[in-house]
């Protein structure tokens, strides 16, 4: 692969993380699950990708998210938040708030619209990102950082590209059944090791993958046990409240689209300095590792934990229903220098060829109704 060369400090940090992972592998008899490897690569204290000190987002990071593209994204979400707050409570909770840009745009839009927000909670695992958020949001005293979810919550929950960064298990299909892809060390390098799948993993295959027995030999895919557990925890928090809605934005598919015969290598992808590649063992700690989201599995996990699925739609339908086109027109089209960059950003957010179709929005909650313009775009029947 032709990728940018890390600095000497970055290489030293990655080497330290590699030693930590190798020690964990040795401690566990020579192999660990891929989910455990991914957990350490992303979240090992002080060394993992999200818990280390390197920049993650923007031109100096590894990827760009929707809030970084345009304030129109946050302004559109603020409109929906205002509709939910009117039925619920003036509280917002955001998971993984990145640079704080989304929170800033939502709070700025709600302040301008005269919508009161008593508390804006942020659950953030990255110390580096939490520091950037605190600087970005210093003019909003209602922002509070949390280390864990509250027991109950009323209001609005947002999670933008949270589910895709949760550790996944990898499995491979053989003529006689499914095997787990674990991680071992051989010749001084991390490598995959095929091992018999546990009964729990086989049960997850049967539950998550439609017609899994018909997939071809050699088929590799992901199982989203951690994300399903997160959805169950989120659902229990919402169920203890009276009225709320959680909006989860991410790239992915419903199950019947996720497990295509042709998607034989799965969806696992890594991001390093705006380069995408498939090798999760490349400089652990210096790159993001993600998998597309199985939205059917997420919806079922929430539903089985006692909360309602309020909607499922593509990002384009959601943003257009939230009025992003009207928000764009607050900038005078005659002012080309101001208008054209925003129009291009909006095009990227809603175009089916860009983020509009690949990115989806799953909405779960209770006791509230979504705005009618969003309900009209609902695709829950496709889950």
- Structure confidence by residue, pLDDT tens digits, 243-263: 999 999 999 999 999 999 999
Q: Is the pLDDT of residue 10 over 80?
A: yes
Comparing C-alpha atoms, which of 322, 245, 293 is closest to residue 73? 322
Average pLDDT in the 271-285 region? 90
| pLDDT tens by residue, 288-346 | 999 999 999 999 999 999 999 999 999 999 999 999 999 999 999 999 999 999 999 99
> Residue 361's closest CA among 328, 343, 342, 383?
383
Percent of the chain having pLDDT more than 90?
87
Q: What is the reported pLDDT for 7?
A: 87
- pLDDT at residue 57, as a whole number: 45
**pLDDT confidence of residue 53:** 60
pLDDT averaged over every residue in the chain: 94
Q: What is the pLDDT of residue 273?
A: 80
Mean pLDDT, residues 63-83: 94
Q: Decide which of 1.10.287.3510, 3.40.50.12710, 3.40.1010.10, 3.20.20.100 is the CATH code for 66-165+226-258+292-382.
A: 3.40.50.12710
pLDDT category of residue 58 using cuts at 50, 70 and 90: very low
Task: Show me where the domains of the chain are located.
Answer: 66-165+226-258+292-382
Q: What tokens were used for 350? A: 């809603």
Token pair belonging to 170: 């990898």
Give yes or no for residue 26 having a pLDDT over 60. yes
Six token digits for residue 59? 């031109």
Q: Please report, rounded to a whole number, the percentage of residues in the chain having pLDDT higher than 70.
A: 97
pLDDT (tens digit per residue) in 95-131: 989 899 999 999 999 999 999 999 999 998 777 788 8
Tokens of residue 364, six digits: 């779960």
Q: Which residues pair with 293 in a beta bridge?
A: 252
Among 35-44, 47-56, 363-372, the minimum mean pLDDT is found in 47-56
Alpha carbon of residue 277 to chain centroid: 18
Q: How much is the pLDDT for 84?
A: 98
Instruction: Over range 165-191, report the average pLDDT.
Output: 96
Q: Please answer whether residues 284 and 327 qualify as being in contact, where contact means their C-beta atoms are separated by less than 8 angstroms.
A: no
Ordered strands of the 288-290 beta sheet = 275-277, 269-272, 288-290
Q: Whole-model pTM?
A: 0.95
Find, among 193, 163, 205, the residue nearest to 281 by Cα: 193
Alpha-carbon distance values, 18 to 40, 281, 369 (Å): 9, 9, 48
pLDDT computed for residue 67 by the predictor: 95
């Amino acid at each position: 692969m032709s990728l940018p060369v890390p600095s000497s400090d970055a290489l030293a940090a990655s080497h330290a993380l590699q030693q930590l992972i190798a020690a964990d592998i040795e401690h566990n008899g020579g192999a660990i699950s891929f989910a455990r490897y991914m957990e350490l690569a992303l979240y090992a204290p002080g060394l993992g990708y999200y818990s280390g000190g390197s920049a993650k987002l923007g031109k100096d990071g590894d990827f760009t998210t929707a809030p970084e593209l345009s304030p129109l994204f946050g302004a559109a979400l603020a409109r929906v938040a205002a509709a939910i707050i009117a039925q619920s409570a003036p509280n917002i909770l955001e998971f993984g708030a990145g640079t704080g840009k989304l929170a800033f745009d939502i709070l700025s839009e709600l302040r301008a619209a005269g919508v009161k927000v008593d508390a804006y909670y942020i659950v953030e695992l990255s110390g580096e990102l939490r520091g950037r958020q605190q600087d970005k949001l210093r003019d909003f005293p209602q922002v509070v950082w949390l280390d864990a979810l509250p027991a109950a919550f009323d209001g609005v929950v947002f999670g933008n590209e949270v589910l895709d960064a949760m550790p996944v298990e990898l499995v491979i299909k053989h003529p006689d059944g499914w095997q787990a892809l674990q991680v071992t060390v051989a010749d001084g390098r991390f490598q995959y090791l095929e091992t018999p799948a546990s009964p729990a993993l086989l049960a997850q295959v049967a539950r998550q993958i439609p017609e899994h027995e018909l997939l071809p030999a050699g088929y590799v895919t992901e199982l989203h046990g951690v994300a399903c557990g997160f959805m169950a925890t989120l659902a229990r928090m919402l169920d203890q409240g009276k009225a709320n809605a959680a909006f989860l934005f991410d790239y992915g598919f419903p199950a019947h689209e996720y497990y295509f015969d042709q998607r034989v290598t799965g969806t696992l992808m890594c991001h390093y300095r705006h380069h995408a590649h498939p090798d999760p063992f490349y400089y652990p700690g210096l790159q993001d590792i993600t998998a597309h989201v199985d939205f059917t599995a997420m919806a079922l996990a929430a539903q089985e934990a006692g909360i309602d699925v309020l909607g499922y739609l593509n990002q384009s339908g959601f943003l257009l229903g939230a009025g992003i086109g009207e928000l764009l027109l607050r900038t005078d089209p005659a002012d080309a220098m101001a208008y054209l960059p925003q129009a291009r950003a909006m095009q990227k957010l809603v175009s089916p060829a860009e983020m509009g179709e690949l990115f989806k929005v799953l909405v779960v909650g209770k006791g509230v109704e979504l705005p009618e313009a969003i309900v009209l775009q609902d695709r829950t029947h496709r889950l």
